[in-house]
Amino acid sequence: MQRQVSYPQAIISKYPEQIVIGIARDSKGTHNPITLGWTMIVSHEPPMMAVAIGKTRYSLEAFRHAREFVIAFPSEHQQDEAMLFGTKSGRDLDKLAAAGCPVIPAGKIDSVLLADAVANFECRLTAELEAGDHVIFVGQIVCSHVNDKPLNRLYTVGEGYKMAGLPRS
Ligand SMILES: Cc1cc2nc3c(=O)[nH]c(=O)nc-3n(C[C@H](O)[C@H](O)[C@H](O)COP(=O)(O)O)c2cc1C
């Protein structure tokens, strides 16, 4: 059986939702991280991923300016960083410096990797699509990295940006 409800009532059933951090260099030369839940793998060969960035976000300018970006999978230990990157804007703050988050230069693009993340993917922009109040950026993955340690990924598990790590089976 199914019961008809409003969209807001139905969409809260999406949790847990994966969290990624997108990082693009802005026109001032600052690497700006943004926390993102709306993301997916879109191609296996070549490997490609997509993220949806709100039209009001500073990251929209940074992604368009850089045309390349990193997608990092934060670990369960990076909840504070994910909250900071997801509630503060790069318009007003160097978020990576504020978080004191260790970074490593990316290998093939002008961006940085999150040293403590579960994995990092270097992407070159291949397409941009407007979708309502967000813009979808599609990137081809040109270099991939994983942490030496076995770490659990970070998810949003409930409303109000409630986050938790979920184990891999
Ligand atoms: C768990 C979580 C998931 C989020 N998902 C998205 C998302 O998919 N797309 C988006 O545009 N903003 C998302 N946000 C909000 C942005 O991260 C937030 O507005 C951020 O401060 C924008 O930073 P910027 O202005 O430096 O780009 C999310 C925030 C959190 C905490």
pTM attached to this predicted model: 0.98
Tell me the DSSP string of 1-46. ------HHHHHGGG-SEE-EEEEEE-TTS-EEEEEES-EEEEETTT
The whole-angstrom separation of Cα 56 and Cα 34 is 13
Cβ–ligand 1 distance for 52 under 6 Å, the answer yes
- Contact (CB, 8 A) for 94 and 25: no
Nearest to 153 by CA among 38, 18, 16, 42: 18
pLDDT of the residue at 120: 98
Residue nearest to atom 17 of ligand 1 (CA): 86
Share of the chain above pLDDT 70, in %: 100
Share of the chain above pLDDT 90, in %: 99
Quick check: 168 pLDDT over 90? no
The whole-angstrom separation of Cα 135 and Cα 51 is 8
Domain segments of the chain: what residues?
Answer: 7-158
Nearest to 70 by CA among 43, 105, 45, 44: 105
Q: Which CATH architecture has domain 7-158?
A: Roll (2.30)
Q: Which of 14, 35, 38, 128 to mutate to test the pocket of ligand 1 (most atoms within 8 A of CB)?
A: 35
